[in-house]
Structure 1
């Protein structure tokens, strides 16, 4: 008995010890649960089941009555529970001690909200009774619940059912009376089926349940969306619709430059795409694809909206796909919950009003689980709007704001509000576009602009060697041919054109070492068309037609229908077409499907949202070529009815030459290069060698009309001042397409000359020269427009070359505001080489400075030195400059504004900027200002000069207050003087010149006029004393024998003056080291020659006269 009592005592102590442990553990676990709850509520993702398991203590061995220990049960994650059930895991073992309780088994532990069955129903044995039990009416009413959901225990093995519907609990909710019911069975009007009381749902449990359910749905949606995205973008087609490759395998990293290439955007941006071959390799800053939302140095926060520009085919959509795939494969941007891709080509099909939730769910079905708008608002999201240039949706940024993701409106209005930040203000937005369409987005809604650049030379070579890895000799041959063609070399910076070239040259070369290679882009595209037609015939027709002409005749009707589609949509600037667009051009959708093998390399077909189809040409260049084919066929077959709207044709008959001239004029009216390549292809088809591969498709024009030569003559005669320099280059390239290489060959010879100043260049030559300099892979260090022997129009056409040089000197070149616009445009390119720009002595005025500052303020502008000396700038111009330098303070270090009329306020404003430590400006020149600097041209530098009688030879007579000198036969009674010329009939001015001066002299031949140091010899008539015959003087000599300049006894012939009595202008910029002579007439000033020296002393005007000659200053 005593031993039994001792055993009972020991058991009782054990129970009490266990109870105290349980109480402490319960308190501790309750605190942990509260902490986890706070952590979970502050996080956007539910706590993982693994974390819950790690932090949850095992059930106690002994249970005692406790009203608090069970109200805050430990809860495991619902997902882990589901996994354990699916594995058939056994329920938690019962405690070793149990207290008597009538209710202890009515509320079993429930692992999750799933419909449960008892362990007995699975054939398990009932839970064993406890060793010790104490009476407790409440200890089990609030059992331990393991899971995020308020679960019930499975201890009893009894099924958990709803007292209302008597079915297994579905979405259970706890009533305030303590009982449970299905969510759908609960009503505020119906009493509890168990106790008869009317009770509301427990608000605490309802809130927890909603949060837990939302978290579960969010996790599932993320998982499913990531998987669907990965499946969609893992494989891609480069160009052939039936050949797909892993995106990670074929993707070549592209150059992404920060900065805005604004200004007059070209539809075909090859115009300003020519100087990237080496520039991008040495770019100051490049952006990694996955870092586009990373803040740049100096930025306080990451950008919300990034706009990425790039020409058609440059790889914008490929970059988008790679960005999304890297996220889906957990390679990058793992702080983001969702990446949504919305392509405008697909959004165009959404004609019904929608909410943003509906729009996103339509295009991403994995989001259907998310029903609550808060899921979208609180999630970390990136929305990608790909292909703004393909949009047919109106984007109105003035409409009433839409702020709720559930509000229904038009798709265009949804996108506008998304861009403005009214919808999903915390989401990040990435927009891609061709440059021409990028200005649809107001600048205030864009935080950062980037631009995708194309392939460098090494990347091009890598592309072809990777594509033809099994035949490297073929790759090398293709690379060699591409480098030999300037046009093709430039275009192959665009990845899609590398693919076109690979497809074409594989067909042309194809093991035939003697195969003739295309020499023009027109001929290349013609070969491409024929190759794809033959490819389609081989693949889909039982009998392959070997005759080229008959093969094209067979497919002529369909090819010209494609041409019509290309032309009609090109006029509308559309790149994406739909069923109705094809039907309008007579193309049956089934017919297009029959030609799908051909279309995959020319006109692509894609199935998008709701099984709808879209169509697009593989590249804009191919679309323009097909459009040219159609128009050429209309011209040669006199089917002008199709072209009535394009050329505004009347009813009268038009010759082929008339139609071509009208087309040229029509295209030249277009801005920003729209239809440039169309014109080049159309006129290129006039050359028989370009179209001979298309016999059977195209009709040859009447050779008797000699249309080809006549249209060439027309192109060369175009002299429109309204024509931009870039359009002039396109005319030159069009002539090259027509196989007219005369101008090109002449410029190539010109570039070989060591002395080019004597060779006169026509405006057309200058366009060709600008193009040659643009595409040259050697950096142009310095270009000075005055050095080119051409007209003002010729110099204007050289502006594109100026944009590609490191230093450009346009001083005294009659620069107009139109020139400045083109220069400012060039400053906005991130890869521009221009660092030093001299615009001095051009009457730009404040309006011209304002235009220039549009480029100067761009973050892409890297200009370090700018000279606006003598440009008629006032306080207003200083305001423009100060504003630009505040916008872009990091690069310009030297600013020359001397010889202007800045006023005190203007000088003060710029001086404050110079002293600002945030600005890089260190050298500011505002000297020699005043109201006299507002005179036109060189008159602002006019000097008041007089001849020095102490230097005059005795046969020189001074008059008019020593402003005129004349040769006379009789010697003048001048007193002896050491400064007097004794044998050389010369005289010097009294004033020494060491600044910027200009004067004009009325002269009669023969004469020798120039400048000299004061130390020139006075005695004798040797070279030490004669003007221009020594290293101390520079002269211009004119006589019956002609005119020439001379220094250090070296002569150089220059243009003669127009008559024996003429006016000579002399301009000296002592500091710059330039001395220029001009022939001056009543309405013009023609430069004869410029000396460039480093002057070390003040200079003095000097003149040498001979029999019957005279010289007098002209006061202007």
Structure 2
């Protein structure tokens, strides 16, 4: 054996040693899932509880800035047969007919949908030798940690600091071996990723700021042979130039069977698991939110405790009730675990929740989901107090040689941040009005009406869920649950009735369908289902066609009908307008339902060019999943036919069958 062969053999053996050390540490780090709790909380083996997520290939390249709960509600109405699901471990495998190798995968998904858990499972399977064994080294580089690195350093130095097991690797080894970088949480990135103007870099030993290293890695200037996986919430995904992304995937969370599988795996008692699944199915809003794995965890934590014991409290049916019980549960947990007491100290709990709520509200206004120690200090929060409030606030920190990584905080999920922000708003405004006993109702009603207007003015619905929680928390029944935290209730039936009347007035003014839909969710939180009940007869009380024949609906009732249809368990895969009424007005009023369908039958429904234009505009405004459209026996006119032709030429159009 000559010297070169000997050196190669030795290097291969050393590589195997470094690889094993890295695998061992990553396996130790990722084999347990703490489901919302921080390091000192209880955890479960990931392989025992992991439920395969619904991940789809492709998806629209358009940026969706809508509130993520709106996006979840849209996904929940979509038949699952439309996209091909792919296994998390196969995201770098080219699909049939695709020749080019995949270097960079961008995975989108709303907050809490399971992107980080998918990353964790991918790494764990690699460390255990189950998948992707052609990859020699996987380096996780989460953005929330990269944000904390201020100084200039080379890519090799960066990896040596974060992953010390491989510091003996030579710079050339990174090009000789198959290396993968995983950048989790692009939406949490506080670095300025300037793909246009950042200087070009191709040497792994050359120092630069972290943002310059990242842009050059992503553009392929640095280590073009490396594989890159980037995860992001939808609104931030467009930071990466499309030409740098070779495969776009989307995490859809749990489909309906997977939701049930999660509860059966998570809850040891099979009969209790079945009762919980039945209860979740009985509330459409809870069932829709269970697309998000974190919400399944919250629901399991609350319902296992409430339904597993002979508690007299009412089982939560609305989002506000579920989150209220979750907060109480976590407050009791904190008291027992860290203070050694079994009774909640109302003043201490109130102080902590007000501090967390202030942080939640201020950071929600800024659009931040993660925050650092200086953010906490601004909100008057004791960092040590937050670190033990494990169910509500998560803390991740590490200190390594050469890098002084600080502490990063986040709420377990955006919805928990929104709930606490709403609670803070209610508590702080009630305290401001303590001296107005005789006219107390007026300030509270004014607050709620102002927040309704604020949510309606938001283009993308970013205050939708906050408003639902605020209205739900204004109910006396929910405030009674929180009596250990609230000093007094700040509600009455008059306030709720007046607020509900104001929301109904806004529905009559006929804002966009999406906004009307959220207003109906708001009425549900106020336990007012009167408008829904008025139209329920047309959905379930009548059978056959022309259910609306001879019926004159108000604008509010049309909106209610849309809400009921979109939230019913009835399959929206195929929508036949003749079931309701053969008229253009019916088409225009039910457009949101039509947008959610895959097959649309408008045969003989007296559609003119006006209806045709509105239909096509609706199908274009949202990435449409329409595959079949029957417009026969209508009069769309020349302009309608031209619009249809243009639609067929649109690359995002999935229409396969068109009858005119």
TM-score (norm: length of structure 1)? 0.53
Contact 2:254/2:290, CA 8 A, preserved across alignment? yes
Contact 1:533/1:552 (CA < 8 Å) preserved in 2? no
Q: Which residue of 2 aligns with 1:398?
A: 196
CA distance in 1, matches of 2:656, 2:466: 44
Residue 235 of structure 1, aligned match among 18, 22, 32: 32
1:252 to 51, 60, 75: 51
CA shift at 1:289, angstroms? Answer: 1.3
In structure 1, what is the equivalent of residue 439 of structure 2?
none
- Of the candidates 157, 161, 169, which is equivalent to residue 370 of structure 1? 169
SS in 2 for 1:369: coil
| 1:585 pairs with one of 354, 358, 379 | 379
Distance between the aligned counterparts of 2:262 and 2:493, measured in 1? 46
Specify the alignment match of 1:623 in structure 2. Answer: 417
Deviation at 1:739, TM superposition (A): 1.1
Aligned counterparts, 1:1103-1114, within 5 A: none
Q: Trace 1:1005-1084 onto structure 2 (pairs within 5 A).
A: none
Preserved CA contact (<8 Å) 2:422 2:467: yes
Contact 1:419 1:429 in 2 (8 A): yes
Structure-1 residue corresponding to 2:476: 688
Q: 2:208 aligns with which of 378, 395, 409?
A: 409
Q: 1:747 to 1:696 in 2, by over 3 A?
A: same
| 1:348-401 C-alpha deviation (Å, 9 max, x unpaired) | 1112222222222222111211242x2222321221111111211221111133
**Structure 1 residue 448: Cα displacement:** 1.8
Q: Closer, same or farther in 2 for the Cα pair 1:702/1:265, shift >3 Å? A: same
Partners of 2:338 and 2:227 lie apart in 1 by 47
From the superposition, tell whether residues 781 and 531 of structure 1 become closer, same or farther in structure 2 (CA, over 3 Å): closer
1:729 corresponding residue in structure 2 = 517
SS in 2 for 1:422: coil
- Judged with a 3 Å threshold, the aligned counterparts in structure 2 of structure 1 residues 881 and 749 are, in CA distance, closer, same or farther, namely closer
- After superposition, residues 232-631 of structure 1 pair within 5 angstroms as 232-241=29-38, 242-263=41-62, 265-266=64-65, 268-274=67-73, 282-283=81-82, 285-372=84-171, 374-399=172-197, 400-469=199-268, 471-512=269-310, 514-545=312-343, 551-593=345-387, 596=388, 599-608=389-398, 610=400, 612-631=406-425
Question: Residues 893 and 515 of structure 1: is their aligned pair in 2 closer, same or farther, counting only changes over 3 Å?
Answer: closer
Aligned pair in 2 of structure 1 residues 566, 791: CA closer, same or farther (>3 Å)?
A: farther
The CA deviation string for residues 548-591 of structure 1, in whole angstroms up to 9 with x for no partner, is: xx743441011110001111111122111211111111001122
- Given the superposition, is the C-alpha separation of residues 492 and 422 from structure 1 closer, same or farther in structure 2, using an over 3 Å criterion? same
Q: Report what 1:222 is aligned to.
A: 19
Unaligned 5+ residue runs, structure 1? 1-73, 76-144, 150-208, 641-653, 843-866, 897-1071, 1073-1116
CA distance in 2, matches of 1:422, 1:245: 40
Cα distance change, pair 680–758 in 1 and its aligned pair in 2 (3 A): same
Structure with the largest fraction of strand: 1
CA positional deviation for 1:799 = 2.8
2:480/2:489 contact within 8 Å kept: no
Q: Is the 8 A contact 2:36 2:412 kept in 1?
A: yes
The counterpart of 2:539, out of the listed 751, 756, 762, is 751
Question: Residues 723 and 422 (structure 1 numbering): CA distance in 2 closer, same or farther, change over 3 Å?
Answer: farther
Q: Deviations over 1:692-739 (max 9, x none)?
A: 201243366766893322222221122698943212100110111011
Q: Give the match's secondary structure for 1:273.
A: helix
Q: Is contact 2:18-2:165 (8 Å) kept? A: yes
Cα gap change, 1:699 to 1:657, in 2 (>3 Å): farther
Asked if the contact 1:385/1:430 (under 8 Å) is kept, the reply is yes
1:801 aligns with 2:593: yes
**Deviations 1:993-1050, CA, capped at 9 Å, x for gaps:** xxxxxxxxxxxxxxxxxxxxxxxxxxxxxxxxxxxxxxxxxxxxxxxxxxxxxxxxxx
Q: Is the aligned partner of 1:741 residue 2:529?
A: yes
- In structure 2, how many angstroms separate the alpha carbons of the residues matched to 1:819 and 1:691? 44
For 1:361 and 1:793, how far apart are their aligned partners in 2?
65
Q: What's the RMSD between the two structures over aligned residues?
A: 3.3
Is residue 402–residue 417 contact of structure 1 (8 Å, CA) maintained in 2? yes
Deviates more, 1:572-581 or 1:481-490: 572-581
Deviations 1:415-465 (Å, cap 9, x if unpaired)?
A: 222222222222222111111221222222222211112223332222222
Quote the Cα distance in structure 2 between the aligned partners of 1:350 and 1:721: 51
CA–CA distance in 2 between the matches of 1:329 and 1:378?
Answer: 23
Alpha-carbon distance between aligned partners in 2 of 1:678 and 1:813, rounded to the nearest angstrom = 40
Deviation of 1:511 after TM superposition, in Å, equals 1.9
Cα distance in 2 for partners of 1:337, 1:625 equals: 43
Contact 1:465/1:475 (CA < 8 Å) preserved in 2? yes
TM-score by length of 2: 0.88
CA distance in 2, matches of 1:695, 1:415: 50
Once the two structures are TM-superposed, the CA of residue 317 in structure 1 deviates from its matched residue by: 0.6
- 8 Å CA contact 1:341–1:385 kept in 2: the answer is yes
1:605 shift after superposition: 1.4
- 1:823 and 2:619 equivalent? yes
User: Is the CA contact (8 Å cut-off) linking 1:518 and 1:524 kept in structure 2?
Assistant: yes
- 8 A Cα contact 1:468 1:474, kept in partner: yes
C-alpha displacement of 1:337 = 1.4
1:442–1:815 distance in 2 versus 1, CA, 3 Å = farther
- Pair 1:556–1:416, CA change in 2 (3 A): same
The structure with the larger Rg is: 1
Query: Displacement, 1:795?
Result: 5.5
- Secondary structure at 1:604 match in 2: strand
User: How far does the alpha carbon of each residue in 1:512-563 deviate from its partner, in whole angstroms, 9 at most, with x for none?
Assistant: 1654212321122111111221222223334422xxxx74344101111000
| Contact 2:612-2:640 at 8 Å conserved across structures | no
CA-to-aligned-CA distance 1:1025-1083 (integer Å, 9 cap, x gap) = xxxxxxxxxxxxxxxxxxxxxxxxxxxxxxxxxxxxxxxxxxxxxxx7xxxxxxxxxxx
CA positional deviation for 1:268: 3.6
Inter-CA distance 792–629: structure 2 relative to 1 (3 Å threshold): farther
Correspondence list, 1:58-69, <5 A: none
For the 8 Å contact 1:389–1:437, the answer to whether it is kept is yes
Q: Provide the rounded CA distance (Å) in 1 between the counterparts of 2:464 and 2:409.
A: 23
Q: Bigger CA drift: 225-234 or 681-690?
A: 225-234
1:883-930 CA-to-partner distances (Å, cap 9, x unmatched) read x35x87xx644456xxxxxxxxxxxxxxxxxxxxxxxxxxxxxxxxxx
Larger helix percent: 2
The alignment partner of 1:871 has SS state of helix
- The yes-or-no answer on 1:836 pairing with 2:624 is no
CA distance in 2, matches of 1:894, 1:793: 24
Distance 1:249 1:235 in 2: 9
1:607 to partner: Cα distance: 1.9
Q: Aligned equivalents of 1:827 and 1:477: distance in 2? A: 37
Shift in CA distance, 316/589, structure 1 to aligned 2, threshold 3 Å:
same
Residue 370 to residue 812, structure 1, CA distance change in 2 (3 Å): same
User: Partner residue of 2:467?
Assistant: 679
Structure 1 residues 791 and 284: alpha-carbon distance in aligned structure 2, compared to 1, 3 A threshold: closer
Residue 224 of structure 2 aligns to a residue whose secondary structure is: coil
